[in-house]
Structure 1
């Protein structure tokens, strides 16, 4: 084997090794050969794509697999390609630099789960006559710039809920919930105001839950997964009490960014406010 190794690497542009729309990635393809070798071409490839796949069972014998994929960019640069069809590499280590400009348009951020993923990667392909193509690849982390044009992103949010207790108590509980806006960044403080009117016979205890919702779409089907990120509680509101409570929730800095610009994967974060009645009868607003 004359090709000992083909690898690809790139330079970080910040301490987190994260790239975004319009950034330039500089790197190199490294080829090691054991002796003088002829090659047909050396190609650099940059790709961004999403894919989902899951299975569902219907009864004992019916089993369906749903999948879909979406491509965002597929860029190829010929690093080496001779007009006569061959290029000769001498024995040793050869370094071929490359530069790639990430498209400056709306692209979904890097994402990975057991059902779907959004991948941004760099590849190298070395071709020889009559031999298998040597390949190398490396993934890079892409985080999309915040899209401030999403309708309602900066507008105040409001929801209300009335509940009649029938099992462990009687009467009604009403709740109005407000936030200053819909969109927040990691590390920001989310201030929630809840107006609670407890006209029931029991105390109720508000609970604030921040959770993530992942939605996957394929072949006309949707699969949804949710996961609680954090819970915050406040003091109970007594029977007959009317209270306005404010809770400040800090969005964890390590959360992946929302994905709202992919047709087959959606990652969003939601706030749910519950009111637990003492004997486990509960009302909730999400």
Structure 2
């Protein structure tokens, strides 16, 4: 057998959730015919987690013993199998030469996006199998990528305004100072990568303690969940943005209209993945001098693929993936393109520039 492989119609091997995955199995028998019972095609989408951690268990003598174990979790989202050739149990002979067997399958619309992380992954693949009588079966595998859009216009929480305020008083020996107040406001709570978000930040420092600086942070939290050998969770933190504003001296106030730029990064929709979850938080901190505790506002935010329409500086729509929009011909040729806002949904198939086609970890 000279060739046995899978080829997708999508040039990027990527598809939107809800699209039809289509392609072909290519079989080239160079030397001689081959006897088979069937040629099958199987589609599989799954998530898996694994990490090494400490586990404590009670021994028969009543003592607790701690040792390292592999925590694991798994979920299956999509599985579909059918015969491309044969399947009735009888043997048949595939003649020498090149053969092409087309395949199709419709993806469910609510699949989690493809994802590879430090402790787990969400992956999709197609496996073609030559069911051979009295011999080992032969397999060809192809990995494809699923992009599930998240439209912030459908999320009421994303449209909510942000308005948070906190205050505290400082005590020093026999006296108590006036309050230090921190206020954060924003017109909405849902952003997309590449978007500029207007933040209103106020510090009213009626205390006798100086604010050295005010920081703004956007943080992503990844939570990995395992079910074996027992339920367990592991959380990782990644700072996406850390910016510093000025300080505020005692008995004074300061206001900032701060433009927070959400960095362009590979956002993935893991809404329907229950063992890998992501959360984003916006933090504003008034870092005070001396041994006093800082004043912090931390609010959850929503990140997605399609920006909120009334707050987007670019026109964003969600066309059917099978109906790509024609490129505009009247764009200014000498004008630099704007930074990317959200995910480009104007193509027939999604692009996957941030996904490694041959991930090396995790390998389980």
Instruction: Report TM bin, short chain.
Output: 0.7 to 0.9
- For structure 1, the residue ranges without an aligned partner over 5 or more in a row are none
In structure 2, the residue corresponding to 1:120 is in which secondary structure?
strand
How far is 1:65 from its partner? Answer: 2.8
Give CA deviations for 1:50-92 in whole Å, capped at 9, x if unaligned. 1112221258852233222111110112111154622322223
| C-alpha distance in structure 2 between counterparts of 1:77 and 1:112, whole Å | 28
Work out which of the residue numbers 40, 47, 52 in structure 1 matches 2:49.
Answer: 52
| C-alpha distance in structure 1 between counterparts of 2:188 and 2:82, whole Å | 44
| C-alpha distance in structure 1 between counterparts of 2:8 and 2:38, whole Å | 21
Q: Corresponding residue for 1:284?
A: 296
| C-alpha distance in structure 2 between counterparts of 1:261 and 1:214, whole Å | 15
How far is 1:119 from its partner? Answer: 1.0
Work out which of the residue numbers 185, 199, 203 in structure 1 matches 2:206.
Answer: 199
* Contact in 2 for aligned 1:107/1:144 (Cα 8 Å): yes
Structure number with higher strand proportion: 1
TM-score by length of structure 1 reads 0.87
In structure 2, the residue corresponding to 1:153 is in which secondary structure?
helix
Q: Corresponding residue for 2:167?
A: 162
Give CA deviations for 1:234-263 in whole Å, capped at 9, x if unaligned. 222222222221221222233323422221
How far is 1:162 from its partner? Answer: 2.5
How far is 1:145 from its partner? Answer: 2.0
**1:260/1:192 CA distance change after superposition, 3 Å:** farther
2:216 maps to 1:208: yes
Q: Which runs of 4+ in 1 moved over 6 A?
A: none
* CA RMSD of superposed structures (Å): 2.5
**1:155/1:277 CA distance change after superposition, 3 Å:** same
Instruction: Tell me how many residue pairs correspond in the alignment.
Output: 280
Question: Bigger CA drift: 249-258 or 72-81?
Answer: 249-258
In structure 2, the residue corresponding to 1:152 is in which secondary structure?
helix
2:227 maps to 1:225: no
TM-score by length of structure 2 reads 0.70
Q: Corresponding residue for 1:6?
A: 4
